[in-house]
Amino acid sequence: MALMTGEQYIESIAKIKMEIYIMGEKIDSPVNNPILRPSLNSVRMTYDLAQKPEYEDLMTVKSSITGNKINRFCHIHQSTEDLIKKVKMQRLMGQATASCFQRCVGMDAFNAVFSTTYETDKKYGTSYHKNFVEYMKLVEENDWTVDGAMTDPKGDRGLSPSQQSDPDMYLRIVERRPDGIVVRGAKAHQTGICNSHEVLVMPTIAMREEDKDYAVSFAVPIDAPGLLMIIGRQSCDTRKLEGGKLDVGNPEFGGVEALTVFDDVFVPNERIFLAGETEFAGMLVERFAGYHRQSYGGCKVGVGDVLIGAAALAADYNGVPRASHVRDKLIEMIHLNETLYSCGIACSAEGYKTESGNYIIDLLLANVCKQNVTRFPYEIARLAEDLAGGLMVTAPSEKDLRHPVAGPYVEKYLKGIDSVSTENRLKVLRLIENLTLGTAAVGYRTESMHGAGSPQAQRIMISRQGNLEQKKKLAKKIAHIEE
Ligand code: SF4
Ligand code: FE
């Protein structure tokens, strides 16, 4: 079954017995949990849209491995056109869910592991690439959602993995057996992990010889013995338990992150993609980060489109759509959002072929893209809050709106223009609240800062890739400086 329907995806996740901890309770599936279900719905959209003829070209593609039609989220990019379509698909998905739809992390991991395993094998004669290609056949044929897991807890940031007082602060190999390895450690902030069939683990930093046991990449099913997830809290998450829809802002969709623990998980040989070749850890990290920094030039732009639309609606409902300062703020939001998109498209268009044959983005431009993402969504959110007005955070609850005594007062005094109901006005304000301060703010604001690496990580890459010496030469030539 190369392409699952949304319904089949939900059924496939429902069949997996997971170990999930949420708000002090142990559950075995996200499917019927009111806090987790919206995040599952977001991933489902990656399957639903792939079924629609109008999105066929964006959401599906011919597999480079089997020639079959597959979901683009499972694809190994074959051209710069593929890279551009990836960004367009992510913008579309952001528009359709107004949240993090989670499936990109796996897609970015596939492409980074594909090229890195090729180069590792070339140097060491290992069979990681063959392992990985076989794994990708399973991913594509089963249309799996795979969580890409990179970020270790990291303990004391001033110490390397092997120098930590607790050796598990970075995920590591604790046992090497003839049939595989046993790993222990954790991966933090795992986007979409409880909505995934599998997890693909990568190291989180470049490593030295003494960190050999930490240079490890592999994939295991989400119900592998010893793997457990502890779900992160999101601002306003318990509003989803109240039963109503209005106060949630985005009642259908959401994102999810979890601290994922690998408590002596066994990995069979054929699922190992790196195990001790420390010099390739850095390459894997750099490539994954590059792809994921490109991704933000698509997903955050799509969510930004919804936020800009919501801010414009709020202004309409207040009766001020033609005020010059309102128009100017909306123009500024569009300008910032499209600048992010331009970066996502540019790093894709300037992509190139790796030794393994797949395509990678231009790393400098992808890092510039993500660096802008650490800033512009904050300004877009600030302008949206400006246009929304204070009612966005002082509006009474849905229950008050429905109350026999309080309700009519809420209706009467919180009304904007005549032609729009108070309820609709409140809906749009709650959506803005959700995107800037509520559950979706994880994906739109703080993830813009820290997701795919915190700002300093991009600045390091920009300084490495920026070619300052070449720029100095240019200046010297123009100024006729001879030394
Ligand atoms: Fe995809 Fe964006 Fe979520 Fe990352 S943050 S998984 S790129 S939607
Ligand atoms: Fe992310």
Closest atom of ligand 1 to 300 CA is 2
Q: Is the CB of residue 195 below 6 angstroms from any atom belonging to ligand 1? A: no
Backbone angles phi, psi at 466, to 5 degrees: -75, -15
Told to judge if 191 belongs to the known catalytic residues of this protein, a careful annotator would answer yes
- 213 CA to middle of ligand 1, Å? 29
Q: Supply the DSSP symbol for 444.
A: I
Which ligand minimizes its atom distance to the CA of 440?
1
Average pLDDT, the chain: 97
What does the pLDDT look like over 287-300, one tens digit per residue? 999 999 999 999 99
Q: Is the CB of residue 299 below 6 angstroms from any atom belonging to ligand 1? A: yes
Residue 198 has pLDDT above 80, yes or no: yes
Taking a C-beta distance cutoff of 8 angstroms, is the pair 344, 372 a contact? no
What does the pLDDT look like over 244-283, one tens digit per residue? 999 999 999 999 999 999 999 999 999 999 999 999 999 9
Ligand 1, atom 2, residue with closest C-alpha: 299
Q: Is the CB of residue 305 below 6 angstroms from any atom belonging to ligand 1? A: no
Which ligand minimizes its atom distance to the CA of 43?
1
Q: What are the structural domains, with CATH classification, of the chain?
A: 6-278 (2.40.110.10), 283-474 (1.20.140.10)
Which tokens is 241 given? 């338990």
Told to judge if 104 belongs to the known catalytic residues of this protein, a careful annotator would answer yes
Told to judge if 469 belongs to the known catalytic residues of this protein, a careful annotator would answer no
Residue 122 has pLDDT above 90, yes or no: yes
Q: Is the CB of residue 447 below 6 angstroms from any atom belonging to ligand 1? A: yes
What does the pLDDT look like over 420-439, one tens digit per residue? 999 999 999 999 999 999 99
- 255 CA to middle of ligand 1, Å? 9
- 426 CA to middle of ligand 1, Å? 28
- 378 CA to middle of ligand 2, Å? 16
- Residues 153-174: what's their mean pLDDT? 97
Catalytic one among 296, 341, 359, 444?
Answer: 296
Provide the strand spans (E) within 163-247: 172-177, 180-187, 198-201, 216-221, 227-231
Ligand 1, atom 7, residue with closest C-alpha: 295
Q: Is the CB of residue 304 below 6 angstroms from any atom belonging to ligand 1? A: no
Provide the strand spans (E) within 15-118: 20-22, 25-27, 60-62, 69-71
Residue 443: closest CA among 109, 57, 100: 100
- 315 CA to middle of ligand 2, Å? 30
Kindly report the CA angle at 224 between 221 and 225, in degrees rounded to 5?
Answer: 180
Residue 36 has pLDDT above 90, yes or no: yes
Q: Is the CB of residue 191 below 6 angstroms from any atom belonging to ligand 1? A: yes
Amino acid 228: pLDDT: 98
Give the C-alpha distances (Å, rounded to integers) separating 374 from 140, 357, 430, 446.
33, 31, 24, 8
Taking a C-beta distance cutoff of 8 angstroms, is the pair 219, 273 a contact? yes
Amino acid 1: pLDDT: 62
Closest atom of ligand 1 to 94 CA is 8
- 189 CA to middle of ligand 2, Å? 9
Which of the listed residues 91, 102, 111, 253 should we mutate to test ligand 1's pocket, taking the one with most ligand atoms within 8 A of CB? 102
Amino acid 441: pLDDT: 87
- 482 CA to middle of ligand 2, Å? 48
SS3 452: coil
Told to judge if 296 belongs to the known catalytic residues of this protein, a careful annotator would answer yes
**Band of residue 239 on the pLDDT scale cut at 50, 70, 90:** very high
Burial class (CB in 10 A: 0-12, 13-18, 19+), 477: exposed
Measure the CA–CA gap between 336 and 349, rounded to whole angstroms. Answer: 20
Kindly report the CA angle at 83 between 455 and 250, in degrees rounded to 5?
Answer: 65
Closest atom of ligand 1 to 101 CA is 8
